[in-house]
Structure 1
C-alpha cells in the first residue's frame, strides 16, 4: 500500500473517532439503556434456562419407574370409591321400572349392619311381598328374611361355626345367582368371596354333612366349575372340574388345551358329599374344543388334597 493511501486510511479512522467522541449525552443515555436491555434479557434467559432444567429434573424423578408392592381395588380407582347408599335404593323402590325395583330390593340387604336403615328397609319392602311379578315378590321375601334375621329361606345355608352364607339375586339368570357369596357372622354382614370370570353365576351351594365345608358350583354360559371352601379357616380347594380334566387327559394321553378365557366347556352333575371331607360328582370333560367328550366320576378329598378321576361306565 502507498504511503498516501495509508495516511488517508489513518485519517479516516481518526475522523470517525472524533465523530464518536462528539455524540450528545442523550445518545450516550440511549447506549446505556440498550446495555440494560441486553443485561435484563440475559438475566431472563438465565432464569428461564434454570427453571427449565429444574422442571426437567422434577419430571424425570416423577416419571421414574414406580415401586408398587400390591395394587388394591381402591388404588386402581384413583379416587375414593363411593360408599354404599341405601337411600338411593329406597328411592328406587318407587320407580316404575321393574328391573330397578328388583335390583334395589336385593341391594337393600346390604344395609343389614345399620339398625335404622335395616328397619326402614323392612318397612319399605313389605308391600312387594304381594307384587304381581314373581321374581320381585320372591326377592322381597328373601330380603325381608335376612333383614328380619329370621333365616328361614331355602337359599340360606347355616354353617358349623354359627355363620350363615348366601348369594343375592337368587336365580336371576337361567344360569344361576349373582357370583358373590355373602356371610353373616356374629351378627355382621360381609362380602365373603366374589368369583371372577368365567365363573359368572353361582349355580349351587352345598354344605358338607357336618357344615364345616361348602361346595360351590359356578358357571358361565359355556362351562361349570366346582370349588370347596373351608369358610371358618379361609381355605379353598383348586377348581375341581378343570383339575379333573387335566388329570384325566394325562391318564388317557389326550391333548389338554387351556383356553385364554379359561372356559373349559365341561360340566359337573350330581354333586354330593360322600362324607364330611370327600366331594363326588359326575363330570363331562371336553377336549380339543369339544371334539372329544369324556364322561367321568370325580372324587376329591379336601383334607389330603387328593383327586381320583375314573371313566364313567357307558352302560350306566
Structure 2
C-alpha cells in the first residue's frame, strides 16, 4: 500500500513537472512570437515613415520647382508682416530658394513704379529672371521689366483713349485667371484703380471698346463668371451683367430665380464682343436651381441707356 501510494505521488510529481515544463515551453514560444511581432511592426512603421518622408520630399521639391498658387491672400502678398509697402523686402525675397516667394516678389516690385530714384536698381535685379527656366517666373519678370522701364509693349496692358493704361499683376497666376485688382498708370503715376470682392476672385479678361473709352471686365470664381463695363474717364460702372441677365430671363420664363447669399451664379459668359462703342454682346449659359436648369442665351447691353436684352440663343440666330 505504501509502495502504491509512493508510486502515485511520484506520478503526480512527474505529471506536475511535465505540465510545468509544457507551460514553460508555451510561455517561451509566446515570448518568441511576441518578439517577432514587435520586430515586424517596428519594421513596418520604419518602412512607412521612410516612404512617407520620401514622398513628402518629392512633393515639396515639385512644389518648389513650379509655383502653383490657388488663390492670393493678403498674407501671401506680404511674405511677412509689414505695416506698409516695402520694396527692399521684395528685393531680398528675389534671393530666396522658394520660387513662390520669388514669383510674388517680382510682381510686387511693379508697385514700386512711382519710386523713380530706385527704378534702375529694381530693373537690374529683375533682369536676370527674364531668362529663368521657370516660365511663370520668366513671364512675370518680363512684364515687370516692361512696366518699370516704361516700354509698355506687353499684351497684358490695355491702353485707353485718355492716355492711361490698365493692367493686372500676377497675370494668369491661377488656372482661373489673374489677381482681382486693376492697376492704372496715368500721367506717369501708378495707382491701384479698381478691385473686386468675392466671389470675383480672378480677372480673366479686360476688353476695351473700339474707341477705348469703355472696358468690359470679366471676373470669375471657380463656380461662376461675371461681366461689368467700366467708363474709366467718368468713373461709371454697369451692373453685373450675367446675374442681371439671369434674373431678367428667369422672370420672363417664370423660372424660380434664387439669388444666393454668396452671390455665386453658376453661370458663364462666352464670345464677348463690342458691337459698337456703346454696346457689348455675349453668349450666356445661365443656371437655375443651382445647375438643374441651364438656359443658353444672348445678352446685349447698351451702356449709355443702361438697357439689357436677353434672348434665347436659338431665337437670336
Q: Is the 8 A contact 2:228 2:240 kept in 1?
A: yes
Q: Which residue of 2 aligns with 1:140?
A: 141
**Runs of 4+, deviation exceeding 4 Å:** none
Q: Is the 8 A contact 1:202 1:216 kept in 2?
A: yes
Q: Does 1:184 align with 2:180?
A: no
Q: Is the 8 A contact 1:86 1:117 kept in 2?
A: no
Q: Which residue of 1 aligns with 2:59?
A: none
Q: Is the 8 A contact 2:298 2:316 kept in 1?
A: no
- 1:1-316 matches, within 5 Å, as 82-313=83-314
TM-score by length of 2: 0.73
**Which runs of 5 or more structure 1 residues have no equivalent in the other structure?**
1-80
Q: Is the 8 A contact 1:228 1:236 kept in 2?
A: yes
- Pairwise CA distance, 1:83: 1.7
Aligned residue-pair number: 236
Rounded Cα–Cα distance in structure 1 between residues aligned with 2:162 and 2:117: 28
Rounded Cα–Cα distance in structure 1 between residues aligned with 2:243 and 2:86: 39
Rounded Cα–Cα distance in structure 1 between residues aligned with 2:136 and 2:117: 26
Q: Secondary structure at the match of 2:146?
A: helix
- Pairwise CA distance, 1:213: 0.2
Query: Residues 314 and 133 (structure 1 numbering): CA distance in 2 closer, same or farther, change over 3 Å?
Result: farther
- Pairwise CA distance, 1:255: 0.4
- Listed one character per residue, the Cα deviations across residues 136-181 of structure 1 (whole Å, up to 9, x for unaligned) are 0000000000000000000000000000000000000000000000
**Which runs of 5 or more structure 2 residues have no equivalent in the other structure?**
1-81
Q: Is the 8 A contact 1:222 1:265 kept in 2?
A: yes
- Pairwise CA distance, 1:315: 11
Rounded Cα–Cα distance in structure 1 between residues aligned with 2:158 and 2:186: 12
Query: Residues 238 and 315 (structure 1 numbering): CA distance in 2 closer, same or farther, change over 3 Å?
Result: closer
Rounded Cα–Cα distance in structure 2 between residues aligned with 1:226 and 1:232: 19
- Listed one character per residue, the Cα deviations across residues 76-100 of structure 1 (whole Å, up to 9, x for unaligned) are xxxxx81210000000000010000
Query: Residues 258 and 129 (structure 1 numbering): CA distance in 2 closer, same or farther, change over 3 Å?
Result: same
Q: Which residue of 1 aligns with 2:7?
A: none
Q: CA RMSD in A?
A: 1.2
- Pairwise CA distance, 1:314: 8.0
